[in-house]
Amino acid sequence: MRRAISVTTLAAAPSSQASSQSPAPLPPQIRELERSIEQQVRRWRLGIRGGIALDPELISFGVQSRIGPIFSRNLTFRPSAEFSWGEVTDMIGLNLDVAYRLPINGRQARWTTYVGGGPALNFVHQGFDATTGKGRDIEFGNFEFDTALNIVGGVEFRSGTFAEVRTGVYAGPAPTFRLVIGHNF
């Protein structure tokens, strides 16, 4: 083990000398790396969502992510997870949507419209099962697996707030029409 026998402290440089020297400018490679990191961070956003569904009637909330642009500057991947419940139906839904930003507005517009779609993986429980005195009894063993194809259309504001209409094709017991609002952070 090494030990310090003698420690020498140095005095700080005089303040007049420090103020006359300006820091060296950052090299262009560092600025380029900084811009690249900022771009990568902006490509991935997390958000929350909530809404209502019809046929069957449900209230839903969930989380989502927006990753992109991918392949094109107007194409983004938007996976989400929703938890829905209603009088007769409970559902956990995983949506793997891709959205295409319509080029009707300029890049600097306050809002943009988009359309998209993708597969949905739904775990649905329907029934009036209730245990006496405890309310509803929900177990994951009671859920049935169902797939669907989502078709989505919506509007997103620059602030990150969005509103969308989505429908499920080949949805089975899952909701066929949903109104969703949310915010991407």
Q: In total, how many domains does the chain have?
A: 1
Residue 178 lies in a domain: yes
Query: How many alpha carbons lie under 13 Å from residue 163 in its C-beta half-sphere?
Result: 2
Q: What is the pTM of this model?
A: 0.74
Per-residue pLDDT of the chain (185 residues; tens, 9 = 90+): 778 788 888 877 666 555 556 777 888 998 999 988 888 877 888 999 999 998 889 999 999 999 988 999 899 999 999 999 998 888 999 999 999 999 888 778 899 999 999 999 999 888 776 555 566 555 656 788 889 999 999 999 999 999 999 998 887 777 889 999 999 98
6-37 CB burial, b ≥16 within 10 A, e <16: eeeeeeeeeeeeeeeeeeeeeeeeeeeeeeee
Residue ranges making up the domain that contains 177? 45-184
CATH code of the domain covering residue 86: 2.40.160.20
Tokens of 38: 């900022």
Residue 9 lies in a domain: no
Residue 170 lies in a domain: yes
